[in-house]
Amino acid sequence: MARPKSEDKRNAILAAATQVIAEQGLGAPTARIAKVAGVAEGTLFTYFESKDVLLNELYLSIKADMREVMMAAYPTAASMQARARHVWQMYVDWGVAFPDKRRAVAQLAVSDRLSESTRAAGMRAFADVNEMVQASTASGVLRDLPPAFVAAIMGSLADTTMEFIERDRAQAERYRNAGFEAFWNAVAKP
């Protein structure tokens, strides 16, 4: 009879994969991930049948963590600008607090190792934000841009903001505010 799987081991493997991928990229060997997790490589494959399964589950795990942080206390009744600022602030704070997760998910997002169903599930996690963008575009608050393009602008400017905060934490608030202002001016109708 097979032993039941441990949630702690699964989480340790995901945490190790995050760290190793952030450091070495997607080509990092599973043996290294297993070593950092403190498990045998065979154990890694007990939890994830292949490296691609591991990468897909890691992507969804990081996206779920990101969504949980970004949407905590989301001000649904606030103005579009206030809601966008909330999402921005929470995303930047998450990225600064978890640089390995940010780097790993960025590599995963451009990888051909993610399945289309994984990508779709990752997008569904942010359906609230996409609906907000579409409604704001329809009402004339935002420029008529596809939600994915708005998200890409936000992601690029947020990455720049996070990098500057990591270099000079004393200026974090200044960079966070300047980054949001640049984002808002790029997507809001004048």
pLDDT at 151: 87
pTM surpassing 0.85? yes
Confidence category of residue 174, pLDDT binned at 50, 70, 90: very high
Tens-place pLDDT, residues 23-48: 999 999 999 999 999 999 999 999 99
Confidence category of residue 4, pLDDT binned at 50, 70, 90: low
- Give me the mean pLDDT over the 125-137 stretch: 84
Tens-place pLDDT, residues 143-166: 999 888 998 999 999 999 999 999
What would the DSSP string read from start to end of 85-109? Answer: HHHHHHHHHHHHH-HHHHHHHHHHH
Q: What percent of the chain lies above the pLDDT cut of 70?
A: 98
pLDDT at 155: 92
Q: Which of 6-10, 38-42, 130-134, 178-182 has the lowest mean pLDDT?
A: 130-134
From the list 143, 136, 70, the residue with the least C-alpha distance to 105 is: 70
Q: Give the C-alpha distances (Å, rounded to integers) separating 51 from 9, 40, 63, 105, 108.
A: 16, 14, 18, 15, 12
Give the C-alpha separation, 49 to 75, whole Å.
Answer: 40
First-to-last CA distance in the chain? 66
13 neighbors 34 (Cβ within 8 angstroms): yes
Query: Domain locations in the chain?
Result: 74-187
**In the CATH scheme, what is the code of domain 74-187?**
1.10.357.10
Tens-place pLDDT, residues 77-86: 999 999 999 9
From the list 26, 93, 37, 85, the residue with the least C-alpha distance to 66 is: 93
Confidence category of residue 3, pLDDT binned at 50, 70, 90: low
60 neighbors 118 (Cβ within 8 angstroms): yes
pLDDT at 61: 97
Confidence category of residue 2, pLDDT binned at 50, 70, 90: low
- Count helices and strands (H / E) in the chain: 10, 0
Q: Give the C-alpha distances (Å, rounded to integers) separating 187 from 37, 74, 150.
A: 42, 20, 7
